[in-house]
Structure 1
């Protein structure tokens, strides 16, 4: 696992499907390639006789990926019904399949707030093989504070403005939004609350860009460093209520201790 202490200050460069639901999304983005983001993988889930991409994840070691806890829990969740597809630009096509051995969801998931600590390290049954399209990602150091208004990027195969998953990897640039402002806005909805362990990002009072359905567990990048994990939010690309990602820097030490 690689950490970059110099990180994001030099960079001035999604989340739930229905209102206030955990996300499984790229809205307002454009097509890109896996060569630009070789650290991202698809999470596919088996249901009713077929495999379907439902979340994203991030490579942190040859046999470990980082994702959202809500992608690896629930009444019907079984590790053997989950796998990842690595090294391909295209949803459900190409690349390499690796099955899930087990997951470690953060023990405080949902304790402080409904989606607080929405983060999981996931062990694969077989190791990834490094290549130009499969690479280990860099995660942010413990305690790092991402400045407000920093440009950040989502990537994934989630819903686009057509309200269907994208067949091609998408990316979109947005901005980190002040946590206190984000918290106050979400209080208006009387639903899940925003905690200090979350990052809000979007185009405030403009909207139109975001992660969306099926982007959950995927990355929020700042300078190609993974600073967030797509978690939840209100609608997709809403102007008033930004998308919310788990703040990786709150859990970096936990990730290092548990992804082994």
Structure 2
């Protein structure tokens, strides 16, 4: 399992509280629940803003593939998704930028597009309080209209181009903001480490 490192870090993190539910789009029912044996945060996590915000999760029991449980393909090493390509963000986060007291109970997907790296970096460079957008990150959203983006609670979820995982939701300034796209870890920057760590 690949997700965001900040989901497995912090003062409120307790390994005993983590488990994986697979084979359902519902948050608290259906599918199969397996315990987390161990997580491996990327070695650069926490040293350069949000860079390295990616983790490999080793499961405590076997997850049998088939039916509604499938393995995803990861983007090839070194491939950078150009701006304007169609992508899909998936997660249980809020569906608007407002405050959400309760997370969604059903997984949602939103279709949006990749944002050019240099444009994204320049946008966030105008905000002194945000960490840098590095070459290990990719951005998604609609800079002309806003509205389509990952949001609060989607952290650690996948960004797909077709059926290939291209990113892992990490951070951003608001949700669906036409000025500031969502920022994800770019899988192609980490795929070699992911494969080496997962085996």
Common fold by TM > 0.5 = yes
Counterpart position of 2:54: 119
- The corresponding residue for 1:238 is 177
Residue matched to 1:13: none
Q: Separation in 2 of the partners of 1:238 and 1:208?
A: 6
Task: Please state whether the residue corresponding to 1:251 is helix, strand or coil.
Answer: helix
Contact between 1:80 and 1:101, CA under 8 Å: does it hold in 2?
Answer: no
Larger RCO: Structure 1 or Structure 2 (Cα < 8 Å, ≥ 6 residues apart)? Answer: 1
SS of equivalent residue, structure 2 residue 193 = helix
1:194 to 133, 141, 144: 133
Instruction: Report what 1:105 is aligned to.
Output: 41
Correspondence for 2:4: 68
User: In the TM superposition, what is the alpha-carbon distance from 1:235 to its structure 2 partner?
Assistant: 0.8
Structural mapping, 1:122-141, within 5 Å: 122-141=57-76
Between Structure 1 and Structure 2, the one with more strand by share is 1
* Alignment equivalent of 1:143, drawn from 78, 84, 88: 78
| Contact 1:183/1:194, CA 8 A, preserved across alignment | yes
Q: Match of 1:51?
A: none
> Unmatched 5+ residue regions in structure 2?
none
Output one character per residue of 1:133-192: Cα deviation in whole Å (capped at 9) or x when no partner.
Answer: 101111011111212211110011111137453222211111111111111111111121
User: Would you identify which runs of 4 or more consecutive aligned residues in structure 1 move more than 6 Å?
Assistant: none
> Contact 1:155 / 1:172 at 8 angstroms: preserved in 2?
yes
1:177 touches 1:200 (CA, 8 Å); kept in 2?
A: yes
Q: Distance in 1 between matches of 2:54 and 2:195?
A: 13
Give the match for residue 89 of structure 1. 25
- Where 2:37 maps in the other structure, the secondary structure is strand
| TM-score after normalising by structure 2 | 0.94
Aligned to 1:170: 108
RMSD: 1.3
CA distance in 1, matches of 2:89, 2:12: 28
